[in-house]
Amino acid sequence: MDVKNAQVAVLVEHLYQELELWHPVLRLREAGANVLLVGPDTKLVYSSKLGYPARPDIAIDEVKAEDFDAVVIPGGFAPEGMRRHPAMIEFVREMDAQGRLIAAICHAGLVLASARIAHNRKLTCVSLVKDDVINAGANYVNEGLVVDHNIITSQLPSDLPVFGKAIVDYLSSDGIEPAAARRLAPSDGRKASPVDYLEPVELIMGPRGRASANYTTVAIAASATVA
C-alpha cells in the first residue's frame, strides 16, 4: 500500500497531550496521508493539557470504520473523555474488527480496554494505566513500542519518533490494501485541522443544567476564530 492512499482518523477530546496528537498528524501528512481530526462535535474547540486548541474536522457520528485505514488515539487525559462517548468506543472496536490499524499511545490504553480489544493482545501504555490494560486481559509489556498485528502501542511522548515511523511503515506495507470507502474532507469546507496556535483556550467545567450533578467541559477562547 502507498501511504499516500491512506486515510487516517486522529481522535480528539479535551486535555489531549499536545505532542501525542500533533506529531502523528504532521508525520502522516508529511508522508502524504489524508489525516483528519475526529471528535464529538465539529463546532467545539478542544483544549490540550496546556491550552493548545484543536477543532475536529468531522464529528464521530458522521464517520464509519469503513472510511479509514487507520486510527490514532493520543494520550493525555483525553482518553478518559473518549470513554464517555459510545460512538468513539464503537468506532475503535469496529476498526479492530475490520483489521484496520489502531495506534494508541500513553493513556490511550484506556480506550483499547473500553473497546474490549485488549484481551490477549501484546500491548504497552503509560505505567499509570497499565493496571486497566492488564485487567482488560492484555499482555502488558514495558517497552517504548509494541506492535501486535494491527495494533501499535507506545508509552510516552519520547517514543513518538518510533511510534510515528511504525505507523508509516505499517501503512506502507506491501500486504496492506487501501480500504477507505470514501475520500473525506472537513464537513464545513475549511482546511483540514490547521495547526493554528492563536491563543490558549481555557477549560471551564460546570453542570449541564441547573442543579445537575452531571458535569460538562467547555473550552473558552477570547477569539471566536481559534482553530
Domain ranges of the chain: 3-184
pLDDT at position 211, please? 64
Do 54 and 210 contact (CB within 8 A), yes or no?
no
Q: Which residues are the active-site residues?
A: 107
pLDDT at position 202, please? 75
Provide block-wise average pLDDT over 10 residues at a time, the chain (227 residues). Answer: 93 96 97 96 90 92 96 97 96 97 98 97 96 97 97 97 97 84 84 75 70 71 48
- How many whole angstroms separate alpha carbon 220 and alpha carbon 136? 36
pLDDT at position 193, please? 83
- Continuous H helices in 31-178: 78-82, 86-97, 109-114, 130-135, 160-171
pLDDT at position 225, please? 41
Q: What is the pTM of this model?
A: 0.89
pLDDT at position 223, please? 55
Cα 12 → chain centroid: 5
CATH of 3-184, one of 3.40.50.720, 3.40.50.880, 2.60.40.10, 3.20.20.10: 3.40.50.880
